[in-house]
């Protein structure tokens, strides 16, 4: 316990004031929500007395639980215990033993007075005259009549045992009456008296209570009791001013829409402690096991979704089934914004808090624990290629929910009688819950993405559309950069998939990483060749050229903000060069100014360095693609050497020091780039060599004048476009 307190204290010391305030704000809001059911009651009830008349605005039927429970107790008390026969062979053996003892005493060669005394000792009879009569009879009766008596005693004993003797009958001295009723009708009265005395000595209760069967019988009897109902018609007064509010009246007020829980400040404090403890556990889980999502945006959306679920739970009418609570929607949405593990963990903690604060039943908790597990597995298998798959996931959750709820109620039906209509209603609600969860997730994702600035796989798919405004601008204003970005995106996506990073994020980040070049597209070599212009850097000094080139990440972030791109895409724009050296202009400056007048820091990008696997991949892919493209028909060996050289340079320069990437990952990335670039650089047939020497029989050669005419038209279009941009 001391260690836990110390750890908690250390976490508080490390947290900022803002973090602590946000933590307390969330815990306070969640506590107020869960405890809000208590507040309204205080306005109409004080110290258990109504402060005003409350009239029913609709017909209300309330079960008088007090009378119903008392009736159930009375019914249960009147249920006869369920009896089962016990082992009774020893009773028959006792009769045979008694018979042998009497025969042995009769055969003794002693005085009859001694025999009478010994016979009297065999019977526990308080009345002496009865004992004397019995001793004399057994001593003087003939052997044949004695045998008849024992034969009839055995017949009677069998009949009595078959009928059964209970403890209460035995204790209430009902054994004589039972024996006499079981003696054969032809038995003389004196023999019947002797038979009764013999059997009373050996008979014991042979019916015992089956406690389990008796309890089930009492439960069934209680469940069969119809509840006492009290009806308040529309316009009737539920409570009068000054009237004590009984349990029945509280139930009626609850049905009328009032909340009747009284404020319990210790209870509210308990809810706050539970909420704070659960929140602290969740934060520690993310910090220690899911660090990539341990950042304000993801924590904020998790807290927001938890508050929404709590609000829905509190707003649901009292007595309404919690099976409609959209916890599966919470898991689906949070899985898309984070991952399925985080969503399941958060949902489990939220479920625990709601169970304690709102007193949910164990059946509900068990249902959603199982359903949350299934939802986590289902959502983790989504490829996020189609939004409609969320509806299908909701349908799967619906089916799983029906199976879980049906299993729970069918098991309970063995012990208690549950109305089939109630079971069908619960099955319908849990089925509806799954479908609605998929629809809610589908409808709210774009709103949540925009509100919290978190990109999801679906948002990435939309950004990857080449009809996006920025990508369209890139195609027309910087076509060389656009083509370069496409090549880099192929490399980045393949490498990310190979090392277990996010391939969709890597691809989309590569599409937008160079959008800053839109500000000055003609200052970048890949666009100069397309527009056929002279390199403007030949007229600039190296320091000015460096400023132009290294500013494109900053320009790109400004464009990203203007076009409302998510923050994670801005990371690709800023980090794809890291704090790398603009080596071409650095070397040019050294040649012009001398090495003693030039510092490396003056020719580096402003950074920051890549801090994600995907941005680290982009840095390498960007450099590799540019280097390979600058070569004419590179061999496989040259490609491999370039990749190895660039990775080594980035490692030695410390540009990958902040990224969670291993040497093994870099080896896989190198192999992936090598494979893809070899495919891109395959030998092509030179179709243009003999284009003017086509078969005259079927084809007309293309006139050189046509080519010249086409070139002039293209130049004219480009000139018009540039003039429009200048205007």
Query: Torsion angle of alpha carbons 602, 607, 608, 609, nearest 10°?
Result: -90
Neighbouring residues of 197: CB distance < 8 A, sequence distance ≥ 6: 123, 125, 130, 134
Task: Give the span between the Cα atoms of 208 and 203, in whole angstroms.
Answer: 14
Q: Give DSSP secondary structure letters for 454-471.
A: ---HHHHHHHT-TTSHHH
Positive/negative CA dihedral, 512, 518, 523, 525: positive
Positive/negative CA dihedral, 210, 212, 213, 218: positive
Give the per-residue pLDDT at 46: 66
Q: Are 368 and 412 in contact (CB under 8 A)?
A: no
C-alpha distance from residue 517 to each of 84, 157, 555, 619 (Å): 93, 110, 8, 16
Positive/negative CA dihedral, 273, 277, 283, 284: positive
Residue 60: closest CA among 353, 319, 269, 424? 319
Q: What is the DSSP letter of 244?
A: B
Q: Are 576 and 622 in contact (CB under 8 A)?
A: yes
Task: Specify the pTM.
Answer: 0.60
Q: Are 438 and 392 in contact (CB under 8 A)?
A: yes
Q: Are 196 and 180 in contact (CB under 8 A)?
A: yes
Q: φ and ψ at 607, to 5 degrees?
A: 80, -160
Give the per-residue pLDDT at 260: 61
Task: Give the span between the Cα atoms of 391 and 438, in whole angstroms.
Answer: 5
Q: What is the DSSP letter of 54?
A: E
170-179 contact pairs (CB < 8 A, 24+): 170/203, 170/204, 170/205, 175/199, 175/200, 175/203, 176/200, 179/203
Give the per-residue pLDDT at 351: 94
C-alpha distance from residue 103 to each of 89, 150, 201 (Å): 22, 11, 16
H-helix or E-strand spanning residue 73: helix 65-78
Both tokens assigned to 642: 């370039």
Query: Torsion angle of alpha carbons 663, 665, 670, 675, nearest 10°?
Result: 150
Give the per-residue pLDDT at 697: 42
Residue 325: closest CA among 360, 298, 349? 360
Q: Are 120 and 246 in contact (CB under 8 A)?
A: no
Task: Give the span between the Cα atoms of 401 and 442, in whole angstroms.
Answer: 20
Mean pLDDT in order along the chain per 10 residues (727 residues)? 58 73 93 74 66 77 81 81 69 80 84 81 77 80 83 82 72 73 80 81 73 80 81 82 80 69 71 93 91 84 95 81 92 92 95 87 90 92 80 94 91 70 90 94 89 84 90 93 95 94 93 94 85 82 90 94 90 94 90 88 91 95 92 88 95 93 94 89 47 42 45 54 51
Task: Give the span between the Cα atoms of 513 and 574, in whole angstroms.
Answer: 8
Give the per-residue pLDDT at 302: 95
Estimate to the nearest angstrom the gap between the alpha carbon of 269 and the chain centroid. 26
Task: Give the span between the Cα atoms of 315 and 173, in whole angstroms.
Answer: 64
The number of beta carbons lying within 10 Å of the beta carbon of residue 224 is: 10
Both tokens assigned to 386: 């189609």
Give the per-residue pLDDT at 377: 93
Task: Give the span between the Cα atoms of 361 and 273, in whole angstroms.
Answer: 21
In sequence order, the β-bridge partners of residue 604 are: 581
Positive/negative CA dihedral, 342, 343, 346, 349: negative
Task: Give the span between the Cα atoms of 623 and 607, in whole angstroms.
Answer: 16
According to DSSP H, which parts of 316-388 are helical? 327-337, 340-358, 362-380
In sequence order, the β-bridge partners of residue 586 are: none
DSSP-based three-state secondary structure for 50: strand
E strand intervals along 201-258 = 207-209, 229-232, 237-239
H-helix or E-strand spanning residue 504: helix 503-512
Give the length of the chain.
727
H-helix or E-strand spanning residue 478: none
Q: Are 56 and 230 in contact (CB under 8 A)?
A: no
The number of beta carbons lying within 10 Å of the beta carbon of residue 420 is: 10
Task: Give the span between the Cα atoms of 327 and 323, in whole angstroms.
Answer: 9
Estimate to the nearest angstrom the gap between the alpha carbon of 638 and the chain centroid. 51
Task: Give the span between the Cα atoms of 551 and 488, in whole angstroms.
Answer: 20
Phi-psi region of 193 (alpha: psi -120 to 50; beta: other; left: phi over 0): alpha
Q: φ and ψ at 84, to 5 degrees?
A: -130, 145
Pairing type for strands 54-55 and 237-239 reads antiparallel
Question: Locate tokens 């204290």: which residue?
Answer: 9
Q: Are 165 and 179 in contact (CB under 8 A)?
A: no
Give the per-residue pLDDT at 37: 62
Angle formed by the axes of helices 389-413 and 327-337, nearest 10°: 140
Full 3-state SS string of 133-169: HHHHHHHHCCHHHHHHHHHHHHHHHHHHHHHCCCHHH
Task: Give the span between the Cα atoms of 516 and 523, in whole angstroms.
Answer: 12
Neighbouring residues of 358: CB distance < 8 A, sequence distance ≥ 6: 34, 37, 313, 314, 322
Rg (alpha carbons) of the chain, rounded to whole number: 46
Residue 463: closest CA among 442, 485, 494, 479? 485
Give the per-residue pLDDT at 609: 94
Question: Locate tokens 């320009």: which residue?
Answer: 555
Q: Are 398 and 435 in contact (CB under 8 A)?
A: yes
Neighbouring residues of 427: CB distance < 8 A, sequence distance ≥ 6: 402, 405, 406
Task: Give the span between the Cα atoms of 227 and 532, in whole angstroms.
Answer: 92
Task: Give the span between the Cα atoms of 243 and 312, in whole angstroms.
Answer: 33
Residue 137: closest CA among 84, 190, 79? 190
């Amino acid at each position: 316990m001391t260690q836990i307190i110390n750890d908690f204290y250390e976490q508080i010391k490390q947290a900022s004031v803002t973090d602590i305030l946000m933590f307390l704000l969330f815990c306070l809001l969640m506590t107020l929500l869960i405890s809000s059911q208590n507040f309204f009651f205080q306005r109409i009830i004080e110290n258990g007395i109504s402060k005003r008349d409350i009239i029913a605005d609709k017909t209300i039927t309330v079960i008088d639980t007090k009378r119903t429970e008392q009736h159930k107790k009375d019914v249960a008390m009147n249920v006869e215990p369920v009896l089962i026969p016990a082992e009774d062979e020893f009773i028959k053996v006792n009769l045979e033993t008694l018979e042998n003892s009497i025969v042995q005493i009769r055969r003794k060669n002693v005085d009859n007075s001694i025999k009478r005394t010994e016979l009297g000792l065999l019977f526990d009879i308080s009345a002496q005259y009865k004992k004397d009569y019995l001793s004399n009879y057994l001593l003087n009766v003939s052997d044949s009549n004695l045998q008849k008596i024992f034969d009839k005693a055995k017949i009677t004993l069998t009949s009595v045992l078959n009928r059964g003797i209970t403890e209460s009958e035995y204790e209430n001295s009902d054994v004589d009456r039972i024996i006499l009723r079981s003696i054969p009708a032809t038995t003389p009265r004196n023999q019947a008296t002797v038979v009764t005395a013999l059997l009373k000595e050996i008979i014991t209760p042979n019916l015992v209570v089956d406690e389990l069967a008796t309890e089930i019988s009492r439960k069934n009897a209680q469940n069969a009791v119809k509840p006492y109902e009290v009806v308040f018609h529309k316009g009737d007064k539920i409570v009068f001013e000054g009237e004590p509010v009984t349990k029945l009246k509280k139930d009626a007020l609850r049905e009328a829409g009032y909340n009747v829980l009284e404020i319990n400040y210790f209870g509210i404090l308990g809810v706050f402690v539970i909420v704070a403890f659960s929140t602290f556990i969740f934060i520690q889980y993310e910090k220690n096991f899911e660090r990539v999502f341990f950042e304000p945006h993801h924590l904020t959306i998790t807290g927001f979704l938890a508050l929404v679920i709590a609000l829905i739970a509190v707003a649901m009418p009292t007595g309404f089934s919690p099976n409609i609570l959209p916890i599966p929607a919470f898991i689906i949405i949070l899985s898309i914004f984070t991952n399925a593990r985080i969503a399941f963990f958060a949902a489990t903690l939220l479920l625990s808090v709601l169970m304690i604060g709102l007193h949910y039943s164990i059946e509900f908790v068990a249902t959603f624990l199982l359903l949350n597990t299934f939802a986590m597995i289902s959502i983790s298998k989504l490829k996020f290629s189609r939004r409609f798959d969320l509806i299908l996931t909701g349908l799967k959750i619906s089916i799983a929910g029906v199976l879980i709820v049906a299993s729970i109620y069918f098991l309970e039906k063995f012990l208690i009688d549950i109305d089939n209509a109630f079971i069908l209603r619960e099955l319908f609600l849990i089925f509806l819950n799954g479908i609605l969860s998929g629809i809610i997730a589908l409808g709210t994702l774009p709103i949540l993405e925009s509100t919290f600035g978190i990109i999801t796989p679906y948002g990435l798919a939309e950004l990857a559309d080449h009809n996006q405004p920025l990508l369209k601008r890139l195609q027309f204003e910087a076509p060389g950069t656009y083509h370069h970005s496409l090549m880099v995106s192929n490399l980045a996506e393949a490498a990310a998939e190979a090392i277990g990073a996010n391939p969709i994020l890597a691809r989309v980040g590569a599409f937008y990483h160079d959008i800053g070049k839109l500000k000055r597209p003609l200052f970048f070599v890949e666009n100069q060749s397309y527009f056929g212009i002279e390199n403007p850097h030949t007229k600039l000094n190296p320091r000015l050229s460096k400023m132009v080139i290294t500013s494109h990440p900053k320009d790109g972030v400004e464009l990203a903000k203007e076009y409302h791109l998510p923050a994670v895409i801005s990371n690709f724009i800023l980090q794809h060069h890291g704090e790398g050296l603009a080596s071409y202009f650095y070397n040019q400056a050294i040649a012009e100014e001398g090495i003693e007048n030039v510092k490396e820091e003056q020719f580096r990008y402003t950074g920051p360095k890549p801090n994600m696997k995907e941005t680290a991949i982009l840095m390498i892919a960007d450099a590799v693609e540019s280097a390979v493209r600058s070569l004419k028909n590179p061999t496989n060996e040259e490609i491999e050497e370039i990749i190895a050289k660039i990775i080594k340079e980035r490692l030695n320069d410390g540009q990958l020091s902040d990224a969670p990437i291993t040497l093994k990952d870099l080896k896989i990335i190198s192999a992936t780039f090598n494979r893809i670039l070899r495919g891109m650089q395959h030998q092509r047939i030179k179709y243009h060599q003999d284009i003017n020497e086509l078969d005259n029989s079927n084809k007309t050669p293309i006139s050189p004048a046509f080519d010249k005419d086409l070139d002039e038209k293209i130049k004219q279009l480009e000139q018009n476009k540039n003039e429009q941009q200048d205007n």
